[in-house]
Amino acid sequence: MNEQQAAAFHMADIRDKRPTRRRAVAVGEFLPGPEAFATVIERRLPKGDALVMAEIAGLQGAKMASQLMPLCHPLALELVRVRCVPVAARSVIRVYCECATEARTGVEMEALAGVNAALLTLYDLSKPVQPALTISGVRLLFKEGGKKGLWIHPDGMEDDEREHYRPHDLARLDGVPCAVITLSDRASGGEYVDRSGPELVAGLQRLGAELAHVEVLPDGIDPLVERLRKLSDEGVRICLCTGGTGLGRRDVTPEALRMVADRQVEGLAELLRVESAKHTPLAWLSRAEVVQIGPMLAFALPGSPRAARQCMDILAPLLAHALAMVDGRPHA
């Protein structure tokens, strides 16, 4: 194999991704036929209790996913649950595997490996009484976590599956008026095209927000102060500012926010630095700031596209809850 061919296979580089809580549930069916079905659920198979052994095998299969699939990242799983649910009306056994952890990549392959291991064990223990066996319908039921939040298989979920697993999505900002302001002398002067603002716009749109205002302003205090006051008066609830948080002479975005603030939100500002530092130690040089201006939350975020994207991922799970607190509404 030459060098070019060898390079065709590689594990995905996930070093720049932020660890988040991940969960996935996979499902599949074992079809033993009516007679063997009764033998399985009554636990009368010659090799022993197939349902118990299948659940144990599913646990082991989920933990071995990276050994079975060469490009699958090894993950330290924090939860594996396997369920075998007999469906008497169709003489099938429905098998579920739920996996969860906090990581930079998802756990769907672990859930699928667990389901397959459990199904194959059911097959192995049932074949002495019925060789005509079928495994069917193996699929990912849903996954959650990461910047994209919840994904549910297009075939959907049954009501009892939703009730049991309760898929959790990011709290959305449907219809919430938001603004994005880029602070940059060079971008406002046309020397380069702003790429940080569009990252924030895309992140807000993923949450369903209404983009009421998008603008590029030169660095400086007075224009930003005036704009922030106007946006708050117009009912904008979230304003994300990118740029002007460094140590340069013209980096004064935090000062502008503090000048117009009714109160500072120190916790969110510190969260941005702590989480961003997991990607780069340079995050500690950022003077990220979060303030409340009337009913509006205003954020001073770093000016690079990568940093803006990372900050949006950090804030996405919290924005709707923060607005609920500002409004005095109950929040999950």
H or E, element range at 152: strand 151-152
Catalytic residue among 49, 124, 219, 327: 124
Per DSSP, the three-state class of 278 is coil
Burial class (CB in 10 A: 0-12, 13-18, 19+), 83: middle
Cα angle 92, 159, 332; round to 5: 135
DSSP characters for 67-120?
HHSTTSPP---SEEEEEEEEETTTTEEEEEEEEEEEESS--HHHHHHHHHHHHH
Distances (CA, A) of 233 to 157, 226, 294: 44, 11, 8
Question: Taking a C-beta distance cutoff of 8 angstroms, is the pair 142, 151 a contact?
Answer: yes
DSSP characters for 155-180?
T---HHHHHHH----PPP-TT-EEEE
Catalytic status, residue 124: yes
Amino acid at position 222, single letter: D
Q: Which of 7, 32, 239 shows the shortest CA–CA distance to 119?
A: 32
Amino acid at position 157, single letter: M
Structure tokens at 329: 């509404």
Task: Rounding to the nearest 10 degrees, give the CA dihedral for residues 205, 210, 216, 219.
Answer: -100
Structure tokens at 109: 């392959």
Active-site residue list: 124
